[in-house]
Structure 1
Amino acid sequence: MSAPYKQDLPPQGGFPAIKYKRNLPTKGPGGALIFGVVGAICTFGFWRVGQGNLEKRELQRERAWARIHLVPALLAENDRDIYRREQAALVREKEIMKDVKGWEVGAKAYHSKRYTPASIVVI
């Protein structure tokens, strides 16, 4: 007896393969290239930092030597300023204390042979 229905069978040679893999296009550079570029940029940056440190060290050395060579001139200028101020103070003291008998203009408050600079500078 024959079946009243017709059975559905696969086609000759089978069904085509089902495409289940993701087929995404590659966009942009690969990971190795990105890693290499970042490494190159970091290397260049560290090299520039090193160059900057060398230049900064040289400028500090130059500034230190400039100060060393300027110290005598600055000390001499300061000594001249102190002398001028002391002479002006003596003139003021002489003018203020002219009526006091026995007053010595410029007498030291400390009886010592050592030089003691004025602790108060009158400007």
Structure 2
Amino acid sequence: MSYRQDLPPAGGFEAVKYKRNLPLKGPGALVILGGVTALCSFGFYRLGLGNLERRELQREKTWARIHLVPLLMAEGDRATHALNQRGLAIETDLMKDVKGWVPGQSVYNNARYYTRDTDGPGI
């Protein structure tokens, strides 16, 4: 019996491919860094514009409130006067049978206690 030895093919085996052959995918690091920088710069620019607009709206709101203060005080005075007049009318109706009762007059004989409607001492 004759033995046959297993030998390489004529011309030898082809080279073993051991290197990574990955294709380049996507932009490079500098392009990404430039894009992020541009995006952040644009965002800060828009933030600055928004801050300016917000500050202007706050100033406008403040001035509107300042100009409304006299109107609101007059409305409060009007409401207080109407409330006092209603209270005086109710007091007059309730105490009409009491002799010597003066509606609206303070029930205290001391100048320390007074209502805002009377000419008492200042606070």
- TM-score for the superposition, normalised by structure 2: 0.73
Q: Per-residue deviation at 1:99?
A: 0.9
Partner in structure 1 of residue 49 of structure 2: 51
2:63 pairs, out of 57, 61, 65, with: 65
Partner in structure 2 of residue 39 of structure 1: 37
For structure 2, the residue ranges without an aligned partner over 5 or more in a row are 1-7, 118-123
Change (3 A) 1:36 1:52: same
Indicate yes or no: 2:112 matched with 1:100: no
Change (3 A) 1:87 1:49: same
Three-state SS of the structure 1 residue aligned to 2:19 is: coil
Distance 2:79 2:14 in 1: 105
Distance 2:20 2:44 in 1: 41
Percentage of pairs with the same residue: 56
Partner in structure 1 of residue 3 of structure 2: none
> Cα RMSD (Å) of the superposition?
2.8
Say whether the 8 Å CA contact 2:106–2:115 is kept in structure 1.
Answer: no
